[in-house]
Amino acid sequence: MSVPPYPTVIRSEAILTISFAERSASDRAVEMPIVLDLDFNDDPIAIELINILLYGGRHLLDALDLRALADSPQLRFTYDFACDASSIRLQSGRSWKQRTGKGNLMVNKEGHLVSLQIQLQ
């Protein structure tokens, strides 16, 4: 079985999942508030995560290559250390509105981010 290249984005009608590593049975979910940036069709184009390390823990981003993710053609993940905020751009386009919601950070036993799951409905 081949391992998918990360990050991956999978969207169903109800859930958006962004994976950064393979999941395991020992991963734990950490709920945090998020802001979805939506296009004119109400499709998510970006996700804002404020205080991501406060919720996920100080080692949450340690296993991620933040420089590569900031320049990724698939999605753009940026992190601002000064204000502990992240933005994940899923596609280009203009945000016509925003909606608050809750996301689940899936964290492995080392405290690293494995995936982010967002309820869309």
Give kind and range of the element (H or E) at residue 67. Answer: helix 66-70
- Statement: residue 3 has pLDDT above 70: no
Q: What percent of the chain has pLDDT over 90?
A: 83
Determine if the peptide bond prior to 7 is cis (ω within 30°). Answer: yes
Question: Residue 106 has what pLDDT?
Answer: 98
Position 94 confidence tier, pLDDT thresholds 50, 70, 90? confident
Mean pLDDT of 1-23: 85
Question: Residue 70 has what pLDDT?
Answer: 92
Alpha-carbon distance values, 43 to 20, 54, 58, 102, 113 (Å): 22, 28, 31, 16, 24
pLDDT tens sequence across 15-64: 999 999 999 999 999 999 999 999 999 999 999 999 999 999 999 999 99
Global pTM value: 0.90
pLDDT tens sequence across 73-82: 778 999 999 9
Where in the chain are the domains?
8-119
Question: Residue 5 has what pLDDT?
Answer: 80
Mean pLDDT of 95-121: 95
Question: Residue 121 has what pLDDT?
Answer: 76
